[in-house]
Amino acid sequence: MTTPAISLAGVSRRFGALQAVRDVSLDVMPGERRAVLGPNGAGKTTLFNTICGDFPPTSGQILLFGEDISALRPHQRTRRGIGRTYQTSLLFNGLSVLENLFVAVRGLRPGRFSFLRPRGSDTGMAKARDIAERMRLSHLLHEQVLNLSHGQRRQLEIGMALAGDPRVLMLDEPAAGLSPGDRPELLLLLRELPRSLTLILIEHDMDIALPAADFVTVMKDGQVVVEAPPDRIEDDPVVQAIYLGGGH
């Protein structure tokens, strides 16, 4: 039997009296694209954070390719192959697209960057260019990040997360705030990610989440309420009650 890329068993997370995630068990197989949907406050980001280590679970177990990572700190999980983006941007506005990716490839902090003189022949630079191409940003290599559109920033953020060669990539609302024109580009980019990568994405926008996903987990009140393939989500009565019943 194939070992899941991510396996959660009875994962819960409390914030004081608030049970933000309760008893979630799920397996995400290697190469799978899993979308996590749910109304505001359902516990999606908290579940993400239990996997990435920002808020370890208060109970339950998290396995990464069979290894128990429940008690590891975020940087230890990153080293073992979990990459993520955040809802808020972590880009360096004063640097170019290529420089941002180079910093991420080298795992550097921005302050140290000025002491490095990246050369065209540098292998880190070659990797940064390659990621830019995969993120459909090759035409903007030397553009400062502050001049990028919101959608282009999102593409770059995904590229930054890929720079550490993650085995599991976790994207937190990649389509949030994107213009309608930027969405097809994001979807294309997600669909072109290699199957060697396992993808877990939180996404409110079903037009992005459903075509990008192999399987969908719907959360409400900290719990998993539906697990189904994307073509069964929109007609699911529980999903309809959540999204059409004013819960979103």
Ligand X SMILES: Nc1ncnc2c1ncn2[C@@H]1O[C@H](COP(=O)(O)OP(=O)(O)OP(=O)(O)O)[C@@H](O)[C@H]1O
Candidates 13-21, 88-96, 159-167, 186-194; binding stretch for ligand X (CB under 6 A): 13-21
String marking each residue 138-157 x if it binds ligand X according to CB under 6 A: --------------------
Q: Tell me how far, at minimum, the Cβ of 203 lies from ligand X, in Å.
A: 10
First to last CA, the chain: 38
Interface with ligand X (CB under 6 A), residue from 42, 186, 199, 212: 42
CA gap 51, 45 in Å, rounded: 10
Candidates 44-52, 71-79, 105-113, 232-240; binding stretch for ligand X (CB under 6 A): 44-52
Q: Tell me how far, at minimum, the Cβ of 45 lies from ligand X, in Å.
A: 3
Q: Tell me how far, at minimum, the Cβ of 48 lies from ligand X, in Å.
A: 8
- For residue 15, state whether it binds ligand X (rule: CB under 6 A): yes
Candidates 38-46, 126-134, 207-215, 227-235; binding stretch for ligand X (CB under 6 A): 38-46
Judged by CB, which is closer to ligand X: 46, or 78?
A: 46
- For residue 44, state whether it binds ligand X (rule: CB under 6 A): yes
- For residue 53, state whether it binds ligand X (rule: CB under 6 A): no
- For residue 45, state whether it binds ligand X (rule: CB under 6 A): yes
CA gap 41, 177 in Å, rounded: 18
Judged by CB, which is closer to ligand X: 111, or 245?
A: 245
Q: Burial, 183: exposed, middle or buried (Cβ in 10 Å; 0-12, 13-18, 19+)?
A: middle
- For residue 247, state whether it binds ligand X (rule: CB under 6 A): no
- For residue 56, state whether it binds ligand X (rule: CB under 6 A): no
- For residue 88, state whether it binds ligand X (rule: CB under 6 A): no
Judged by CB, which is closer to ligand X: 16, or 237?
A: 16
Q: Tell me how far, at minimum, the Cβ of 178 lies from ligand X, in Å.
A: 16
Binding site for ligand X (CB under 6 A): 15, 18, 20, 38, 40-46
